[in-house]
Structure 1
Amino acid sequence: MSRRFPVHLNRFRMADRGVALLAFMLTATASHAARPMNTDDARTVDPKACQVESWVRKNADSTEFWVMPACNPTGNLELSAGGSHTRGESEGSHNSVMLQAKTVFKPLETNGWGWGLAAGTVRHGQPFSGHDWYAYVPVSRSLFDDRSVLHLNLGWLREAQSQRNFMTWGIGSETQLSERVWLIGETFGQNEGRPLYQAGLRYWVVPNRVQVDATYGNRLGGGERWFSIGLRLLSPAFLP
């Protein structure tokens, strides 16, 4: 949901070098982890419904424009397909494409917990062409009648550029501040390098249908700052 920048540190590191990253992975409903969180939740978009997430992310030396549609045609299989256009100050413009599938084995219930599995690939455009492959397990815990939700991700990433495997992880939270406003925060990374963090606000313009958000992120210790703003549209069930 998130993707969602999908919980992969590699995406953020490459984006700051002028390469588009993931997307998280990234679809959900009202109180679920969604754009702009990189740490995903143990839920899918509603059965027979779809959503579109779009956002702009400003890095130190590049700007990313993302669009990520997702649908749940079977009731428990969320399919995401989208991509990005990145404009880099030193390496020009290029596109990336992302595909992801996600399912839930234990649905997240109020004051309970749930878990699932997501897997996907990101094809990077120039200058770092190739496919990254990833998979991760999202685990979520609901507290205080869904007014607070915690998320934990643990996964694997096969990086195309280095031809290496990495362990990925993410820890995130969502806290309801008012009827329409949520505070979101997370830290995430992989088994090498300093972790990254991100925090911001999410606001429902139309409850359960139209959402906007804004975040600030960086690497612990500094050096990879970014800002993002996003728009999320969710449909009622309409698929056959």
Structure 2
Amino acid sequence: MPLDVLVFACGRRLCGLMILLLPTLAFAARPLSSDDASTADPGSCQLEGWGEKSGGNRAWVLAPACGVAGGWEIGFDATYLRPQDEFRGDAGVAVKWVPKSWSMLTPAGTVNFGLKLGVSYERPVDSGWRRSGQGLLGLATLVVNEDFALHANLGPHQERATGQVGTALNLALVWVPHPAGLVFAEVQTNDRRAMMGPTQRTVGGLWWVAPDKLGLSLTASRPVGSSETQWTLGFGWYGLSAWTNAP
């Protein structure tokens, strides 16, 4: 998702401004920022993109990801910022691992676990690209039934410039009231708000233009202590073939 874009996969300027750039039940990346414990099928790719608006600030994001082997996925993201008063943009790369052996059946439903490792980069206005941080997230997804799922992410993020380390926590509830779409609510928080930004609450939804293939999303989020709402409008395009001889 996402990285998609994870907490550790965005630059400091954008993280401090909008922690949303921190990734249906099968595709819990967009419009969620919390990530799910699942990967794209080997040889299958997805492309997600969205625009963000928060006051006078804008961001445009593209985030492709591909399944490279059973239980393995690699993803990228690129962010273009406006205005460019300090940074031109941000980028990140992440690898997700969700072993089948880490899945278990419980009285509440099926629980899947995984890990996601990411490295982030930033481009200041007065220099070239540089590494800005790295992090690791533990992923857990509880699939209660075909209509409800819970996602939880927990892990450390290190800021390269200062060496400071903070812990991110993302929690999300997804409801699929109709096959045509889903709605969700999530909270993203951390223990180093001066570095990683304030706690943020988000609600939103996705409508399938083509079932399980192409979806349009809309979200609204607000940092705790702020009266300003951040809006995102985006798309998700799934099931793309990574190579012609993919199974």
Same fold (TM over 0.5): yes
What letter corresponds to residue 114 of structure 1 in structure 2? N
The residue aligned with 1:220 is 224
Q: Distance in 1 between matches of 2:12 and 2:228?
A: 8
Unpaired stretches in structure 1, ≥5 consecutive residues: none
More helix, by proportion: 2
- C-alpha contact (below 8 Å) 1:42/1:140 kept by paired residues: yes
The residue aligned with 2:142 is 141
What letter corresponds to residue 94 of structure 1 in structure 2? R
What letter corresponds to residue 131 of structure 1 in structure 2? S
Q: Distance in 2 between matches of 1:238 and 1:16?
A: 31
Are positions 1:49 and 2:44 aligned together?
Answer: yes
Q: Distance in 2 between matches of 1:69 and 1:14?
A: 22
**Equivalent residue runs for 1:90-169 within 5 Å:** 91=85, 94-105=88-99, 106-107=102-103, 111-126=109-124, 130-143=131-144, 145-169=145-169
The residue aligned with 2:67 is 72
Question: Residues 178-224 of structure 1, C-alpha deviation per residue, up to 9 Å, x if partnerless?
Answer: 12121111001211334111111111110110011000011122256
Q: TM-score by structure 2 length?
A: 0.83
* Cα shift at 1:75: 2.1
The residue aligned with 1:15 is 14
Are positions 1:60 and 2:55 aligned together?
Answer: yes
The residue aligned with 1:35 is 30
The residue aligned with 1:229 is 233
The residue aligned with 2:206 is 202
- C-alpha contact (below 8 Å) 1:47/1:73 kept by paired residues: yes
- C-alpha contact (below 8 Å) 2:209/2:215 kept by paired residues: yes
- C-alpha contact (below 8 Å) 2:3/2:75 kept by paired residues: no
Q: Distance in 2 between matches of 1:162 and 1:225?
A: 30
Q: TM-score by structure 1 length?
A: 0.86
Find the residue that maps to 1:112 and give its secondary structure.
strand
Unpaired stretches in structure 2, ≥5 consecutive residues: none
Report how many aligned residue pairs link the two structures: 233
Q: Distance in 2 between matches of 1:94 and 1:201?
A: 29
